[in-house]
């Protein structure tokens, strides 16, 4: 009886380890840069050290929420209106999911 219970316990432990090993990493990445342009649903930001910056462009769905931070104040707006009046060189943080799709954007208006 003890051997059967121990065998079943080991079977569940091995099955759990195999299932955990097959799960893909759900963590995304974050890209920080300065606002360059917004055109036709594409956000372009300059990333890197001054003088060594490279431009990165992200396809953004119109209903993506953008958090506008102004000091302690925060306001959420849709992407299609958030970038219309944004000034160049405004700090922007783009959060991507594991599939490299834009899931959220933060704009720091205070800096």
Q: Which fold has domain 29-108?
A: OB fold (Dihydrolipoamide Acetyltransferase, E2P) (2.40.50)
Confidence (pLDDT) at 7: 62
Tell me: the pLDDT tens digits for 35-70?
999 999 999 999 998 889 999 999 998 789 999 999
Domain ranges in the chain are 29-108
Instruction: Please say whether the beta carbons of 55 and 44 come within 8 A.
Output: yes
- Report whether 96 contacts 28 (CB < 8 A): yes
59-98 pLDDT tens trace: 998 789 999 999 889 999 998 888 988 999 999 999 999 8
């Amino acid at each position: 009886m003890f051997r059967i219970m121990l065998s079943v316990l080991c079977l569940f432990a091995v099955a759990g380890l195999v299932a955990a090993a097959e799960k893909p990493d759900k963590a995304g990445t974050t890209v920080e840069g300065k606002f360059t342009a917004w055109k036709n649903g594409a956000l372009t930001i300059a990333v890197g050290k001054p003088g060594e910056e490279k431009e990165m462009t992200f396809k953004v769905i119109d209903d993506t929420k953008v958090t506008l931070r102004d000091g302690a104040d925060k306001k959420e707006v849709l992407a299609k209106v958030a970038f219309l009046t944004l000034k160049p060189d405004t700090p922007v943080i783009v959060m991507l999911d594991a599939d490299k799709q834009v899931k959220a954007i933060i704009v720091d208006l205070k800096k």
